[in-house]
Amino acid sequence: MAVLEAQEVTAGYGDAVIVERISVKVEAGEIVAVVGPNGSGKSTFLKSLLGLVRRFCGRILFEGRDITAFPAWRIARAGIGYVPQVNNVFPNLSVVENLQMGAYFRQDKGGIQADCSEILEMFPELKRRSRFRAETLSGGERQLLAIGRALMGRPQVLLLDEPLAFLSPKTAALILRQLAAIKERGIGLLLVEQKTFLALEAADYGYLLSEGRCLMEGRGSALLADASLRERFLGLRKEV
């Protein structure tokens, strides 16, 4: 059974439909990439899974359970973590408080403490600044903090909206390694990425969105190999 499944989801803002009839499946321990040009509706689609934008139709299943009607905070508590593309931290809270908020609904004080130290060990940049307000962090550091905050909720599936944006190649590599480690723990990952090549290479399965519709889906390597896709959307030449 898929840990997260979107069935024919149509969503948008106000009366405007932005994404139409998108179906996506994420299995436990799998990285699924959603790629597509700017404005194709990738972020809107992720938000529709979280109950942050208006959904017109479609169903969302978490571990087989229908969570379509859940408010956003209950979706989070069910076990869906989210790293937004923008506004991804609590600017007025310290780094440690940001992490604590990620574990807001957990009751195991000891476990929270342990996870918090583990994440600070994982990202030394954050550890150095643990008492600073998040608004003083750089874009890359915020990205790390956002990922850490999402992990604090011990999600079964993690939705990441362009986690590699703002990151130096070195930090991006670190994040990709961390994502691989998260995947090893059996957590499903749904990854929206601008860096299409990196994302599809890391992914087990991929979906290509364009103008709010799913144009193509398939194994990450298969999508990468598709010649027309490479030229039209990835901007890659054949010989690359």
Partner 1 sequence: MGEFAQILLNAAITGSIYLLAGTGLTLTYGLLRFPNFAYAEFITFGGYIGYLLLQKPDGSLPLAVAAAFFATGLLSLFSHLLCFRPLVNRRASLIPLMVASIGLGYIIRYSIGEMWSWAALSYQPVWQAFDLGPVRVTALWLYLIGAALFTGIGLHLLLTRTKTGKAIRAIAGNPDLALVSGINRDRITFFTCFLGAGFAGVAGVFRAADTQLSPVLGWDILLPIFAVVILGGIGSFYGLIMAAFLLGLAENFGVILLQAVGLSTEYRMAIAFLVLILVLIFRPKGLAG
Max distance between CA atoms of the chain, in angstroms, equals 53
What is the distance between the alpha carbons of residues 141 and 125, in angstroms, rounded to a whole number?
7
Q: How far is 89 from 99, CA to CA, in rounded Å?
A: 10
- Quick one: 45 or 62, whose CB is closer to Mg ion? 45
Choosing from 25, 32, 33, 44, the residue that interacts with ligand ATP (CB under 6 A) is 44
Which has the closest alpha carbon to 234: 214, 204, 211, 210?
A: 210
Shortest Cβ 214–ligand ATP spacing (Å) = 12
E strand or H helix at 190: strand 188-192
**Residue 149 sits in the site that holds partner 1 (CB under 8 A):** yes
Q: Residue 203 Cβ, how far from Mg ion at the closest point, in Å?
A: 17
Q: Which stretch binds partner 1 (CB under 8 A): 100-108, 160-168, 204-212, 214-222?
A: 100-108
Q: Which of 32, 60, 83, 85 binds ligand ATP (CB under 6 A)?
A: 85
* Burial (CB count within 10 angstroms: exposed 0-12, middle 13-18, buried 19+), residue 6: buried
Q: What are phi and psi of 158, to 5 degrees?
A: -120, 125
Interaction of residue 13 with ligand ATP, rule CB under 6 A: yes
43 counts as binding ligand ATP under rule CB under 6 A: yes
Q: Which stretch binds partner 1 (CB under 8 A): 76-84, 121-129, 207-215, 220-228?
A: 76-84
Residues 50-69 that bind partner 1 (CB under 8 A): 50-52
What's the burial of 213, exposed, middle or buried (CB within 10 Å: 0-12/13-18/19+)? middle
Placement of tokens 């889906």 in the chain:
217
Which residue's CB is nearer to partner 1, number 9 or number 202? Answer: 9
Q: How far apart are CA 203 and CA 197, in angstroms?
A: 10
Q: Does 85 bind Mg ion (CB under 5 A)?
A: yes
Alpha helix (H) residue ranges in 90-130: 95-102, 109-122, 124-128
Give the residue with the Cβ less far from partner 1, 155 or 212.
155
Contacting ligand ATP within 150-179 (CB under 6 A): none
Residues 196-235 that bind partner 1 (CB under 8 A): none
Q: Are strands 188-192 and 31-35 parallel, antiparallel or unpaired?
A: parallel
Closest residue to bound Mg ion by CB: 43
From ligand ATP, partner 1, Mg ion, none, interface partner of 13 (C-beta below 5 to 8 A by class): ligand ATP
Q: How many helices (H) does the chain have, and how many strands (E)?
A: 10, 10
| 196 scored as a contact of ligand ATP (CB under 6 A) | no
Residue whose token pair is 């090893």: 184
CB of 19 to ligand ATP, least distance (A): 7
Q: Which residues bind partner 1 (CB under 8 A)?
A: 50-52, 71-77, 82, 84, 87-93, 97, 100-102, 104-105, 149, 153
